[in-house]
């Protein structure tokens, strides 16, 4: 069966040099089988094997501690027609609720709960209610302050979305965070739609309540299923990316489920894991070269 192995490093520290590519070809038993997707950053190597898992293991052993991600997959069907993505710690560097908590001097307390929820140690929904409750009385104007001063887009995210859209893919941002943030982040990156939870407010202040039902892991999976039906796609046509336990259901359901700088349980369950590259790694995963990128 025809497979492709993709080696990817972060663009800011290129590590996929000619020597690594040559050694990877040797491990896979091929020669002159590489396509350079971006010099020093990403390369495809095509090969035949009855045992892709063994090829993946051999390549990871070869790479060792080098800052290089390894993806092994069938060559057919790599390019996806639907992207469904988490926001916090995936499309942006921060967890929005933790940054809101910082406005009240509660970041350490709330971020500890966030970390446990993202690791799957506690259920997402009650953890969200608890954290939102601690924000009671925070002026709604603080949300704009956080957006302006604390929220930073994850490198490569806009290029990922714009390139996929230019190739007829639909892109959805689904978050266990809040609509105040997803609307802004979605507009900055260029998603076709966004969904999240609603922070309730009264008199210009947060009430400490969140709109029900809470958008959690099951809701993310359901939106993926709805979009597959709406767009007349197969699940094999979809790519889901996230970092936390509340992303697991959509990651496991998608044709390509990607754990991005993810918690251990998520990285273990995903089809692919990105530990080193930026979000353009998801384009190299699909066989796009740097020359294909839409940088607007």
Structure tokens at 116: 């446990």
Tens-digit pLDDT profile for residues 165-214: 999 999 999 999 999 999 999 999 999 999 999 999 999 999 999 999 99
Residue 193 pLDDT? 98
CA 10 to chain centre: 15
Taking Cα atoms as reference points, which of 207, 186, 205, 204 lies closest to residue 195? 186
| 242-272 residue pLDDT tens | 999 999 999 999 999 999 999 999 999 999 9
The pLDDT value recorded for residue 1 is 85
| pLDDT value at 135 more than 90 | yes
Model's pTM, two decimal places? 0.97
Across the range 91-119, mean pLDDT stands at 96
Q: Give the residue extent of every domain in the chain.
A: 1-76, 80-296
Q: How many angstroms separate the CA atoms of 193 and 213, rounded?
A: 19
Q: Domain 1-76's class? A: alpha beta
Query: In the chain, pLDDT over 70 holds for what percent of residues?
Result: 100
| 129 has a pLDDT exceeding 90 | yes
pLDDT value at position 87? 98
What is the average per-residue pLDDT within 45-71? 97
**Residues belonging to the active site:** 86, 88
Q: What angle do CA 282, 284, 290 make, to 5 degrees?
A: 120
DSSP string, 164-210: HHHTT-EEEEEEEEEHHHHHHHHHHHT-SEEEEE-EEEETTEEEEEE
Q: At residue 296, does pLDDT exceed 90?
A: no
Q: What would the pLDDT profile of 9-31 be if each residue is shown by its tens digit?
A: 999 999 999 999 999 999 999 99
What average pLDDT does range 107-119 have in this prediction?
96
For residue 65, what pLDDT is reported? 95
Mean pLDDT of all residues belonging to the chain: 97
* CATH entry, 80-296, from 3.40.50.1000, 1.10.645.10, 3.30.1490.100, 3.40.718.10: 3.40.50.1000
Q: Which helix (H) or strand (E) holds 260?
A: strand 256-260
Phi, psi values for residue 193, rounded to 5°: -155, 165
List, in order, residues 6 or more apart from 105 with CB less than 8 Å away. none
């Amino acid at each position: 069966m025809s497979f492709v192995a993709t080696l990817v490093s972060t663009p800011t520290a290129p590590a996929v040099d000619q020597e690594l590519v040559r050694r990877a070809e040797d491990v896979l038993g091929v020669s002159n089988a590489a396509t350079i997707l971006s010099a020093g950053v990403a390369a495809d190597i095509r090969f035949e094997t009855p045992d892709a898992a063994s090829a993946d293991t051999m390549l990871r052993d070869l790479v060792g501690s080098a800052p290089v991600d390894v993806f092994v997959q069938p060559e057919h069907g790599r390019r996806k027609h639907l992207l469904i993505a988490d926001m916090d710690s995936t499309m942006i560097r921060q967890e929005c609720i933790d940054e809101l908590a910082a406005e009240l001097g509660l970041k350490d307390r709330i971020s500890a709960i966030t970390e446990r929820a993202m690791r799957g140690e506690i259920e997402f929904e009650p953890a969200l209610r608890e954290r939102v409750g601690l924000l009671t009385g925070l002026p709604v104007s603080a949300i704009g302050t956080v957006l302006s001063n604390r929220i930073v887009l994850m490198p490569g995210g806009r290029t990922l979305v714009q390139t996929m859209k230019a190739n007829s893919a639909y892109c959805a941002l689904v978050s266990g965070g809040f609509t105040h943030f997803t609307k802004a982040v979605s507009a900055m990156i260029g998603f076709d739609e966004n969904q999240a939870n609603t922070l309730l407010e009264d008199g210009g202040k947060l009430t400490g309540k969140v709109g029900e039902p809470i958008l959690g892991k099951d809701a993310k999976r359901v939106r993926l299923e709805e979009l597959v039906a709406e767009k007349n796609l197969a699940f094999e046509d979809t790519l889901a990316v996230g970092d936390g336990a509340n992303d697991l259901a959509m990651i496991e359901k998608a044709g390509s489920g990607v754990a991005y700088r993810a918690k251990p349980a998520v990285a273990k369950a995903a089809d692919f894991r990105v530990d080193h590259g930026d979000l353009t790694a998801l384009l190299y995963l699909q066989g796009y070269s740097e020359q294909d990128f839409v940088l607007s």
